[in-house]
Structure 1
Amino acid sequence: MWRYYALLAILCLVVLTLMGRAVHLHIFEQSFLSHQGDVRSIRLERLDAHRGTISDRYGEPLAISAAVETIYANPTQVKLGDEEYAQLAAALGVNKRWLKRRLESNRDKQFVYLKRKAAPHEAQQALQLGFSGIYSRREYKRFYPAGEVASHIVGFSNIDEKGQEGIELAYDEWLTGREGKHRVLKNRAGQVIKDLGVVELAQSGNDISLSIDMRLQYLAYRELKAAVDIHRARAGSVVVLDIETGEVLAMVNQPSYNPNNRSNLNVSHLRNRAITDLFEPGSTMKLVTLASALESEKYALNSSVETSPGFLRLGGRSIRDHRDYGRLSLLEVIAKSSNVGTSKLALDLGPEALWDSFYALGLGQGTGIGFPGENIGQLPNPFNMQPVELAAMSYGYGLSTTALQLAQAYMVLGNGGLKPSLSLIKKESKEPVERVLPESVSNELLKAMRATVEKGGTGTRAQVPLYSVGGKTGTVHTVGRDGYNAEEYKALFAGVAPINDPKIATVVVIDAPAGAEYYGGEVAAPIFSRVVDGAMRILSVEPDKFSQLMHVNKVESSLAGGRG
Structure 2
Amino acid sequence: MSTEVRSGVTPRRPPPMAPMGGLRYGLMLLIVLLALGLLAGRIVTLHVLDRPFLQGQGDARTLRTDTLPAHRGMIADRHGEPLAISTPVVTLWANPQDVPEDSIQRLMLARALNLPLEELEARLERFASREFMYLRRQMTPQAAQQVLDLRVPGVYAQNEYKRYYPSGEVAAQLLGVTNVDDTGQEGLELAYQPYLAGTPGQRRVLKDRRGRLVRDLEVLRDARPGGELTLAIDQRLQYMAYRELKAAVAEHDADGGVVVMMDARSGEVLAMANQPSYNPNNRAGLDPRGLRNQAIVDVFEPGSVMKPLAMAAIMESGEFPRDVVVDTSPGWMRIDRFTIRDIRNYGELDLAGILEKSSNIGMSKLVLELDDPLVPDLYRRLGFGQSPETGFPGESTGTLPAPVRWSRSQWAALSYGYGLSTSALQLASAYTALANGGERLPPSLLRLDAPPPGERVIDPAVAHDLLRVMEASVQPGTGARRAMVPGYRVAGKSGTVRKTGSAGYVQDAYRSLFAGIAPVSDPRIVTVVMIDHPRGDSYFGGAVAAPVFSRVVGSALRLLDVPPDQRSR
Q: Same fold (TM over 0.5)?
A: yes
Q: Name the structure 2 match of 1:126.
A: 147
Q: Write out per-residue CA displacement over residues 44-81 of structure 1, whole angstroms, 9 at most, x where no aligned residue.
A: 11111121111111111111111111111112222231
Question: What is the CA distance between 1:528 and its match in structure 2?
Answer: 0.3
Query: Are residue 47 (structure 1) and residue 68 (structure 2) matched?
Result: yes
Q: Name the structure 2 match of 1:489.
A: 510
**Is the Cα contact below 8 Å between 2:259 and 2:530 reproduced in 1?**
yes
Q: Name the structure 2 match of 1:557.
A: none
Question: Which of structures 1 and 2 has the bigger CA Rg?
Answer: 2
Q: Name the structure 2 match of 1:386.
A: 407
Q: Name the structure 2 match of 1:558.
A: none
- Identify if the C-alpha distance between structure 1 residues 24 and 309 changes in structure 2 by more than 3 Å, giving closer, same or farther: closer
Question: What is the CA distance between 1:4 and its match in structure 2?
Answer: 6.4
Q: What amino acid is the match of 2:469?
A: A
Q: How many Å separate the matches in 2 of 1:80 and 1:59?
A: 52
Q: How many Å separate the matches in 2 of 1:416 and 1:366?
A: 23
Alignment of 1:2-13 (within 5 A): 6-7=27-28, 9-13=30-34
Q: Write out per-residue CA displacement over residues 305-341 of structure 1, whole angstroms, 9 at most, x where no aligned residue.
A: 1112222221222212122211111001101111111
Query: Are residue 158 (structure 1) and residue 201 (structure 2) matched?
Result: no
Q: How many Å separate the matches in 1 of 2:322 and 2:166?
A: 49
Q: 1:334 aligns with which of 352, 355, 364?
A: 355
Q: Write out per-residue CA displacement over residues 145-199 of structure 1, whole angstroms, 9 at most, x where no aligned residue.
A: 1110010100001111111100001111111111111000111222111110211
Question: What is the CA distance between 1:523 and its match in structure 2?
Answer: 0.3
Query: Are residue 317 (structure 1) and residue 342 (structure 2) matched?
Result: no
Q: 2:484 aligns with which of 460, 463, 475?
A: 463
**Secondary structure at the counterpart of residue 514 of structure 2:** strand
Q: Name the structure 1 match of 2:327.
A: 306
**Secondary structure at the counterpart of residue 491 of structure 1:** strand
**Is the Cα contact below 8 Å between 2:267 and 2:451 reproduced in 1?**
no
Query: Are residue 204 (structure 1) and residue 225 (structure 2) matched?
Result: yes
- Identify if the C-alpha distance between structure 1 residues 197 and 456 changes in structure 2 by more than 3 Å, giving closer, same or farther: same
Q: Write out per-residue CA displacement over residues 410-446 of structure 1, whole angstroms, 9 at most, x where no aligned residue.
A: 1111111111221101112333221111111110110
What is the RMSD of the two structures over their aligned residues, measured on CA atoms? 1.7
Q: Name the structure 1 match of 2:13.
A: none
Q: What amino acid is the match of 1:269?
A: G
Q: Name the structure 1 match of 2:163.
A: 142
Question: What is the CA distance between 1:269 and its match in structure 2?
Answer: 1.6
Q: Name the structure 2 match of 1:213.
A: 234
Question: What is the CA distance between 1:22 and its match in structure 2?
Answer: 1.9
**Is the Cα contact below 8 Å between 1:351 and 1:385 reproduced in 2?**
no
- Identify if the C-alpha distance between structure 1 residues 243 and 300 changes in structure 2 by more than 3 Å, giving closer, same or farther: farther
Alignment of 1:324-363 (within 5 A): 324-350=345-371, 352-363=373-384
Query: Are residue 368 (structure 1) and residue 353 (structure 2) matched?
Result: no
**Secondary structure at the counterpart of residue 531 of structure 1:** helix
Q: What amino acid is the match of 1:191?
A: R
Query: Are residue 74 (structure 1) and residue 106 (structure 2) matched?
Result: no
Alignment of 1:510-549 (within 5 A): 510-545=531-566
**Is the Cα contact below 8 Å between 2:425 and 2:443 reproduced in 1?**
no
**Is the Cα contact below 8 Å between 2:489 and 2:568 reproduced in 1?**
no
**Is the Cα contact below 8 Å between 2:429 and 2:441 reproduced in 1?**
no
Higher mean C-alpha displacement, 84-93 vs 20-29: 20-29
**Is the Cα contact below 8 Å between 1:337 and 1:458 reproduced in 2?**
no
**Secondary structure at the counterpart of residue 19 of structure 1:** helix
Q: 1:94 aligns with which of 115, 125, 144?
A: 115
Q: What amino acid is the match of 1:362?
A: G
Question: What is the CA distance between 1:534 and its match in structure 2?
Answer: 0.2
**Is the Cα contact below 8 Å between 2:265 and 2:451 reproduced in 1?**
no
Q: What amino acid is the match of 1:209?
A: T
Q: Name the structure 2 match of 1:416.
A: 437
- Identify if the C-alpha distance between structure 1 residues 259 and 273 changes in structure 2 by more than 3 Å, giving closer, same or farther: same
Alignment of 1:198-277 (within 5 A): 198-277=219-298
Q: How many Å separate the matches in 2 of 1:455 and 1:266?
A: 41
**Secondary structure at the counterpart of residue 150 of structure 1:** helix
- Identify if the C-alpha distance between structure 1 residues 527 and 387 changes in structure 2 by more than 3 Å, giving closer, same or farther: same
Q: How many Å separate the matches in 2 of 1:410 and 1:457?
A: 21
Question: What is the CA distance between 1:278 and its match in structure 2?
Answer: 1.4
Question: What is the CA distance between 1:86 and its match in structure 2?
Answer: 1.0
Q: Which runs of 5+ in 2 are unaligned?
A: 1-20
**Secondary structure at the counterpart of residue 163 of structure 1:** coil
**Is the Cα contact below 8 Å between 2:489 and 2:567 reproduced in 1?**
no
Query: Are residue 480 (structure 1) and residue 501 (structure 2) matched?
Result: yes
Query: Are residue 297 (structure 1) and residue 318 (structure 2) matched?
Result: yes
Q: How many Å separate the matches in 2 of 1:429 and 1:333?
A: 38
Q: How many Å separate the matches in 1 of 2:517 and 2:509?
A: 27
Q: What amino acid is the match of 2:84?
A: A
Question: What is the CA distance between 1:14 and its match in structure 2?
Answer: 2.1
Q: Name the structure 1 match of 2:18.
A: none
Q: Write out per-residue CA displacement over residues 199-230 of structure 1, whole angstroms, 9 at most, x where no aligned residue.
A: 11011111100001111100100000000000
Q: What amino acid is the match of 1:330?
A: L
Question: What is the CA distance between 1:237 and its match in structure 2?
Answer: 0.5
**Secondary structure at the counterpart of residue 57 of structure 2:** helix
- Identify if the C-alpha distance between structure 1 residues 547 and 390 changes in structure 2 by more than 3 Å, giving closer, same or farther: closer
Q: How many Å separate the matches in 2 of 1:140 and 1:96?
A: 28
Alignment of 1:432-471 (within 5 A): 432-471=453-492
Question: What is the CA distance between 1:377 and its match in structure 2?
Answer: 1.0
Q: Write out per-residue CA displacement over residues 7-33 of structure 1, whole angstroms, 9 at most, x where no aligned residue.
A: 455344323432343244335554543
Q: What amino acid is the match of 2:397?
A: I
